[in-house]
Amino acid sequence: MRRSRPAFATATPVLALAAFLAASASASAQGPPPATTRARSASPGPITALEAGHNKAPLRQVIISADRVMNADPWVMAKYVFLSRHEVPECPTPYSVRKFRYFGGKQEMVEVIWIESGKLQIGVLATRGMGIWKVLLDGVTVLGWDSPVKDLVHPSLVNLQARGGTGWQEGFNEWLCRGGLEWNGAPGTDRVQDAAGRERTMDLTLHGRIANLPAQEVVLIAEREPPYRVTIRGEVHERSFDGPNLELASEVSIIPGGRSFRVSDTVTNRGGLRQEFQMLYRTSFGPPMLDEGARVLAPVELVSPIDEHSAKDVARYDRVDGPRLGSAEQTYCMKPLADHSNRTLVMLQNSRSDLGAVLSYDARQLPYLSLWKHTAAPEDGYVVSIQPGTNYPNTRRVEREHNRVPSLSPGASHTMALDFSLLLGTTEVKQAASEVARIQGDRRPLIRDKPEP
């Protein structure tokens, strides 16, 4: 008999939440701007129904569009795009969507779309590949980390070729960002063939280009029937003459009032030739989710260190150390197990097992999982990244040699969806841990003590 998946993050918040928020309130967490920054009445675009003549059809509103050469109030710092109490008064939990434009320093003209639903706030980076900057609960960052990179760096100021092809790190401070689309992983050289069959060498930079490309179009979609899901949909193009013609359609959606949300992506090959692609989701966690003794729980059949340094601690791959000055990064490559419906589950829990985050997804869509640990001093970035992907984060040439680089025929697409939930209290954390154990079953993982690509 197949068990239904537990509905995480639906229980009543525990009393410990108040203490957690009070203890975390002093942490730096730049959230959405105050409502008083609303400055002009100009509409970002008409609100229309997706289906004409259907009085309960979802509402659609364009926020940014390159095709239409439009941007909702481009010179206003903060602008309400959508207020549910006006457009969807039946929704039991009021929510709002605001576009905020940042100014000053390297973040000049970076645009963030903030979804504010109940106590949860999600900042979607329209200018940086539709990543998620951070997620706040009652104004405190719960999903995110404190990067040495403080600004939301505009892509035009990120030189991907810098520092031996690792310039991507000059803008790295998001909670969720993508590696892809043409390639991701470590920098290196690769040999590719053009349409005439001629071979040429390419220098691949760290994690590709998608996280540093702005969205061509951003649209809000609001359902007017239960469960009243609200979605921010963005379209990002990775195109080049005599190169890839890939399109990312990304959706970030939430049911108002909950502590769960979904990221759903579709990559499409718009070119006329078959095209390789890669996708790596970097979900990066710092305090208060991360502390000494925190654990990453995942059902896996294989764990392999990516290099000799990581191999030294492979027996403790799922344990997190406290911050230590000069600590070097470690990465572990895993093959996740899934249940009968092909779903897998990965969870990070703090040392007290009373705060956690869980992500679940179809392992057929993202068959590989990697864990990146950087337990350096807080000033240098104390962070752990859980990374589902179409591949491991080796350079593309290595991944191709091991048949871990998928490709798309002309017009074909690949869809990936991840569900995230915030866990509050030991009951919710234990429930998620039990689900990981259920998927693992009696299958013991093979843990390799040496790097094996």
pLDDT at position 7 over 50: no
Mind listing the pLDDT tens digit for each residue in 125-171? 999 999 999 999 999 999 999 999 999 999 999 999 999 999 999 99
Fold observed for domain 58-447: Beta-galactosidase; Chain A, domain 5 (2.70.98)
State yes or no: pLDDT of 44 exceeds 60: no
- Determine the average pLDDT of the residues in 12-35: 52
Q: Out of 197-201, 346-350, 419-423, pick the least confident.
A: 197-201
Contact indicator for 252, 261 with CB cutoff of 8 Å:
yes
pLDDT for position 3: 45
pLDDT of residue 236: 98
State yes or no: pLDDT of 91 exceeds 60.
Answer: yes
List the domain boundaries for the chain.
58-447
Instruction: Work out the average pLDDT over 169-182.
Output: 97
**Residue 12: predicted pLDDT:** 44
pLDDT of residue 74: 60
Is the pLDDT reported for residue 373 higher than 70? yes
What pLDDT, on the 0 to 100 scale, is given for residue 452? 87
Q: Is residue 364 scored above 80 in pLDDT? A: yes
Reported as a pLDDT band with limits 50, 70 and 90, residue 426 is: very high
Q: Give the model's pLDDT for residue 2.
A: 44
Q: Token pair for residue 226?
A: 């239960």
Indicate the pLDDT class of residue 78, thresholds 50, 70 and 90: low
Predicted confidence (pLDDT) per residue in 340-359, tens digit: 999 999 999 999 999 999 99
pLDDT of the residue at 81:
82
Assign 4 to helix, strand or coil: coil
pLDDT-based confidence at residue 27 (cuts at 50, 70, 90): very low
Q: Average pLDDT of the chain?
A: 90
| Residue bearing the bigger pLDDT, 199 or 233 | 233
Q: What does the pLDDT read at residue 55?
A: 72
Confidence label for 16 from pLDDT (cuts 50, 70 and 90): very low
Confidence (pLDDT) at 34: 60
Q: How confident is the model at residue 1 (pLDDT cuts 50, 70, 90)?
A: very low
pLDDT tens digit string along 283-330?
Answer: 999 999 999 999 999 999 999 999 999 999 999 999 999 999 999 999
Listing DSSP states for 333-371 in one string gives EEEE---TTSEEEEEEE-TTSSEEEEEEEETTTS-EEEE
- CA–CA distance, 366 with 206 (Å, rounded to integer): 20
Q: Over the stretch 228-278, which tens digit does the pLDDT of each residue have?
A: 999 999 999 999 998 999 999 999 999 999 999 999 999 999 999 999 999
Q: Does the pLDDT at position 196 exceed 80?
A: no
